[in-house]
Homo-oligomer: A and B are copies of this chain.
Amino acid sequence: MPKLDLTAPSIDLTRTICDIPSVSDDETALADLIHEAVLALPHLEVYRDGDTIVARTNLGRSQRVAIAGHIDTVPINDNVPTRDVAIDGEPFIWGRGTVDMKAGVAVQLKLAHDLADPRVDLTWMWYDHEEVDADLNGLTRLARTRPDLFEADFAILGEPSNGTVEGGCNGNLRAIVRTHGVRAHSARAWIGENAIHKAAPVLARLADYRPRAILVDGLEYREGLNAVRIDGGIAGNVIPDLCEIEVNYRFAPSRSADEAVAHVKSVFDGFEVDVVDIAPGARPGLDAPLAQEFLAAVGGEPRPKYGWTDVARFSAMGVPAVNYGPGDPHLAHHDEERVPLAQIVDVERGLRAWLT
């Protein structure tokens, strides 16, 4: 494996790190390269925990900004290695991770190299397991072992936001809704009770559900409630006694975790509901002084972030945080994931201008 060359342009760095597969649980090769590259930078103090790497300046500035990005991706689907493509004449890098979020990480690595003398102290964080259960997230681990590393006055997550500032994020809840029946031979179905048939009203409630759009601190958050998995059945001649529907609720940052749980339980009233994962959202936090400064420096109208991101983690720790990165979030996880070169350059320029 060649070394990472942080003197290369961030566009080239994007191609390089996208071509190193790092699907969740398989981040070590990329983490090793990042670790090696930042260890070589004398202006940074480096800490590693598993496949999470933290690199900090210690210049005694009055303020500190944390800038973070996850290095894992969702599974590859014939979209690695990257390709250069043009759409309506505009150049893109196409492939898994280009949007979510290795272009953002490439910009961060480039700036971590270049900014030896920023106007605030910087804490760079590159972490593993963001695309899977919150329990496995590298920042969850780090928050337990080294909460001091999260101390900052403001945080920027490089999640894709089309190069504009996206404030806060929706919360994220997953739950299993279960229906139960009684097994029987399907030739004599009347002896049993079909658990899959009993799931009909669960799917009907999901199909009829009209998600809300909620204004929080001036930004409108769209919610969503979806089945993401359904599973039932034993054999082709057996009436099934269990059906499981996994639902995913994305909830506005004005709702607490408890309120989100209560809402899901009320939607599926009368059914067994088992919450398996919950991560509260984060209010936009755009009224913080550093956030205002940052907004003024990079320009554009701030927007709400729909997907859950680790801004919620910083927010819960009292650190105002926003998303700011290259790539269209609608293309995250998409097989045609692709990032415009211009956004990579713009985000690098925006961050560099504000930090120097």
What residues make up the interface of A, taking CB atoms closer than 8 Å to B? 74-75, 131, 133, 170, 172, 174, 183-191, 194, 196-200, 203-204, 206-207, 211, 222, 224, 226-240, 243, 245-246, 248, 250, 277, 306-308, 329-330, 332-335
Whether A203 pairs with B207 at a CB distance below 8 angstroms is no
Judge whether A306 and B188 touch: CB under 8 Å: yes
Name 25 A/B residue pairs within 8 A (Cβ), A-sorted: A74-B238, A75-B235, A172-B187, A172-B237, A184-B333, A185-B329, A185-B330, A186-B224, A186-B248, A186-B250, A189-B250, A194-B207, A194-B227, A196-B245, A197-B206, A199-B230, A200-B203, A200-B207, A204-B204, A227-B232, A228-B238, A229-B233, A229-B240, A230-B243, A233-B246
Q: How far is the CB of A236 from chain B (nearest CB, A)?
A: 5
A172 to B186, CA, bound (A): 10
- Alpha-carbon gap, A222 to B228, bound state (A): 36
- Chain B residues with Cβ below 8 Å from A226 are 186, 189, 194, 196-197, 239
Give chain B nearest CB distance to A262 CB in angstroms. Answer: 20
A242 → B minimal CB distance (Å): 11
Q: Determine the residue in chain B with the shortest Cβ distance to A305.
A: B187
Known: A174-B236, A184-B334, A187-B308. 15 other contacts (CB 8 A): A184-B333, A185-B334, A186-B248, A186-B250, A188-B224, A188-B330, A189-B211, A190-B224, A196-B226, A196-B227, A196-B245, A199-B203, A228-B234, A229-B233, A236-B277
Q: Which residue from chain B places its CB closest to the CB of A198 in the assembled complex?
A: B207
